Amino acid sequence: MLRAHKVQQMELRFALGMGKPDATTLVFSDIEGRMLNPHAVSRAWRRVCDAKQLPRVSFHALRHTHVSMLIRRGVDILTISRRLGHSKASVTLDVYGHLIEGADAAAAKAIEGVLK
């Protein structure tokens, strides 16, 4: 899907006579390669939700859902933190640490296995 999106971006740029974008151009950007306006993204998301008759949840809520699912699947906090672009894993832990359940029980089981 990302490749198809990139091809579509390139075709549009060439059709407008803009040429190839810089190597640092964001995957999801405006036609000039600049970061999308967050309010415009939110408005577009609301229109999609309305058109598809989906519940109105904020676009930002998708970020939280993404993290919640990764934590539930056991992905480590450092990896999640990097995906989110947090400067430190402690930021991720401060925001999402409450979602980590059973970590103490898993640690006890792990050390029990080592000591046997």
pLDDT in tens, 6-61: 889 889 989 999 988 888 888 888 888 889 998 999 999 999 999 999 998 998 89
Number of domains in the chain: 2
Tell me the residue range of the domain where 17 lies: 2-51
DSSP 8-class letter at 18: -
Together in a domain, 23 and 65: no
Burial of residue 92, with CB atoms counted within 10 A of its CB: 0-12 exposed, 13-18 middle, 19 or more buried: buried
Together in a domain, 26 and 66: no
What's the maximum distance between 2 C-alpha atoms anywhere in the chain? 69
What pTM was computed for the model? 0.63
Q: Measured between alpha carbons, how far is 39 from 36 in angstroms, rounded to an integer? A: 9
User: Residue 81's CB: how many other CB atoms inside 10 A?
Assistant: 20
Together in a domain, 77 and 37: no
Together in a domain, 66 and 38: no
Together in a domain, 64 and 106: yes
Together in a domain, 46 and 71: no
What mean pLDDT do residues 97-114 have? 84
Give the per-residue pLDDT at 55: 93
Residue 29's DSSP bridge partners are 35
Together in a domain, 80 and 111: yes
* Percent of residues, the chain, with pLDDT higher than 90: 54
Give the per-residue pLDDT at 93: 94
User: Residue 67's CB: how many other CB atoms inside 10 A?
Assistant: 20
